[in-house]
Amino acid sequence: MPLSRRGSGVVPAARAVASQVHPVFMLPPVAASWFGSMLAEQFSLTTGALHMIAIFAAVYTAHVKDGYVDFHVRGEDDDHPLTAKGCKLLLAAATALFSAALAGLWAVVGLGAALVTLPTWFIGYFHAPQLDTNPVTATSGYPFGIALAILGGYYVQTRTFAPVAAAFALVFLVLLSGVKVVDDAQDYEYDRTIAKRTVAVALGRERARVAAFALMVVALLGVLGFAAARVFPPSSVLAAAAFAVVAGIAYRTGPELATMLLIRGSYVFLALLLAAVWFRPLS
């Protein structure tokens, strides 16, 4: 059964499989899992690796399902590297990998680790065509997955939750929801023609833009508030300041450039928060 629409054989099949690994969108959830483990201030390589594998498999599932729906079902995309059967086979393989990692977490950590990780697969699998047609779920699905990755990364190391993990998960949920609104605005014209109700379609471009950056401001103020309350390390304010600079520049650009800036700004934000948690330079 051919996987690739661009030829038969091992090499085209391998390229088709690799085409569904999108580092720009896959790195943050996997890094969020690691970040959650670092928050725990104790790290088991086995449990950390199992959780990161599960998160990777969940995001891979989302990419394959999204491509399958957009090209083979909706006919939205002009091209796709995988055949319909290839998509289904990779969905099964990614789900099997996720299930194996989930079983490993259950065996090594306990049922709670499996339960906090399981929703990430559902978010990935049902993103298209169920969740991506509603303004709220289309916007918050990916950020919610990252929030769960942080919580899960912490839980698998400690077998418990803590205010610091919940606070970081909340900040990323709000901040990345704002970024996602800006990202979705790139497809505003096309989404209107297919009745895909993103926030930009529901509110209009300008109001959606204001709402997006308002969410980011709320998230950054949340960082400052949690730092003042000593939930976050004091140096986490540097991460908020760095992202604020990027967001200020992005606000004056169009959706495409703004998205590029904000996504990369999110990487910097995460990296500086990780440094603040790990090294605590101002403590």
* Neighbour-count burial of 30, counting CB atoms closer than 10 A to its CB (0-12 exposed, 13-18 middle, 19+ buried): buried
For residues 126-163, one letter each, b for 16 or more C-beta atoms within 10 angstroms of the residue's C-beta and e for the rest, the string is bbbeebbeebeebbbbbbbbbbbbbbbbbbbbbeeeee
Q: What is the CATH number for 25?
A: 1.10.357.140
DSSP, collapsed to helix, strand or coil, labels residue 75 as: coil
Task: Tell whether 218 and 133 lie within a shared domain.
Answer: no
Give the pLDDT mean for 98-119.
Answer: 97
- pLDDT value of position 145: 96
Do residues 37 and 157 lie in contact, with contact meaning Cβ atoms separated by under 8 Å?
Answer: yes
Do residues 231 and 273 lie in contact, with contact meaning Cβ atoms separated by under 8 Å?
Answer: no
Residue 134 has pLDDT above 90, yes or no: no
Q: How confident is the model at residue 41 (pLDDT cuts 50, 70, 90)?
A: confident
Please tell me the least confidently modeled range out of 33-42, 57-66, 273-282. 273-282
Amino acid at 219: A
Domain count, the chain: 2
For residues 168-180, one letter each, b for 16 or more C-beta atoms within 10 angstroms of the residue's C-beta and e for the rest, the string is bbbbbbbbbbbbb
What are the angstrom distances between the C-alpha of 82 and each of 7, 71, 127, 137, 202? 10, 10, 19, 26, 32
Do residues 246 and 265 lie in contact, with contact meaning Cβ atoms separated by under 8 Å?
Answer: yes
Q: What is the pLDDT of residues 142-187, one digit of tens each?
A: 999 999 999 999 999 999 999 999 999 999 999 999 999 999 999 8
Any domain includes 1? no
Task: Tell whether 31 and 153 lie within a shared domain.
Answer: yes
**How many other CB atoms are there within 10 angstroms of residue 222's CB atom?**
19
Q: What is the pLDDT of residues 228-246, one digit of tens each?
A: 999 999 999 999 999 999 9
- pLDDT value of position 282: 63
Q: How confident is the model at residue 77 (pLDDT cuts 50, 70, 90)?
A: confident
Q: What is the pLDDT of residues 185-215, one digit of tens each?
A: 998 888 887 767 899 999 999 999 999 999 9
State which of 159, 179, 213 marks the end of a domain. Answer: 159
Task: Tell whether 152 and 218 lie within a shared domain.
Answer: no
- pLDDT value of position 1: 58
Instruction: For residue 216, give its domain range.
Output: 162-283
